[in-house]
């Protein structure tokens, strides 16, 4: 085990800014990509749904 305590872990031997700055931005941006993909999928499905209803109204 490398760390004496959690505060020791978070301090990263004095390199906290660099280590957590790397991991934070990586996982933050990956999470953002996931959210954007979910929103994109949802908006496409809604748009296709609207197109279908509009086409059906046009037929009647």
Partner 1 sequence: MMYVTPENTATGQDRFVGHSSWFRYSSPQTFFPLAGKLVPWFAVAALLFAAAGLYLGFFVAPTDSQQGEAYRIIFIHVPAAWMSMFIYVVMAFWAGVGLTFNTRLSGMMASALAPTGALFTFLALWSGSLWGKPTWGTWWVWDARITSELILLFLYFGFMALQAAIDDPRRADKAGAVLALTGVINIPIIYFSVQWWNTLHQGASVSLKSAPTMAATMFAGMLVMVLALWMYSIAASLVRVRCIILERERDSQWVAEYMSSLK
Q: Which of 2, 5, 7, 60 forms a contact with partner 1 (CB under 8 A)? A: 2
Contact between 52 and partner 1 by CB under 8 A: the answer reads yes
Contact between 22 and partner 1 by CB under 8 A: the answer reads yes
Contact between 31 and partner 1 by CB under 8 A: the answer reads no
Neighbours of 11 (CB within 10 A): 13
Q: Give the C-alpha distances (Å, rounded to integers) separating 6 from 2, 9, 27, 28, 34.
A: 11, 5, 20, 22, 29
Contact between 46 and partner 1 by CB under 8 A: the answer reads no
For residue 15, what is the enclosing H or E element?
none
Q: Which residues bind partner 1 (CB under 8 A)?
A: 1-3, 9, 12-15, 17-19, 21-23, 25-26, 29-30, 33-34, 37, 40-41, 44-45, 48-49, 51-52
């Amino acid at each position: 085990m490398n760390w004496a305590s959690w505060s020791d872990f978070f301090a990263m031997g004095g390199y906290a800014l660099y280590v957590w700055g790397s991991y934070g931005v990586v996982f933050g941006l990956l999470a953002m990509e996931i959210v954007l993909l979910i929103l994109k999928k949802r908006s496409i499905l809604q748009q296709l749904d609207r197109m279908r209803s509009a086409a059906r109204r046009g037929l009647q």
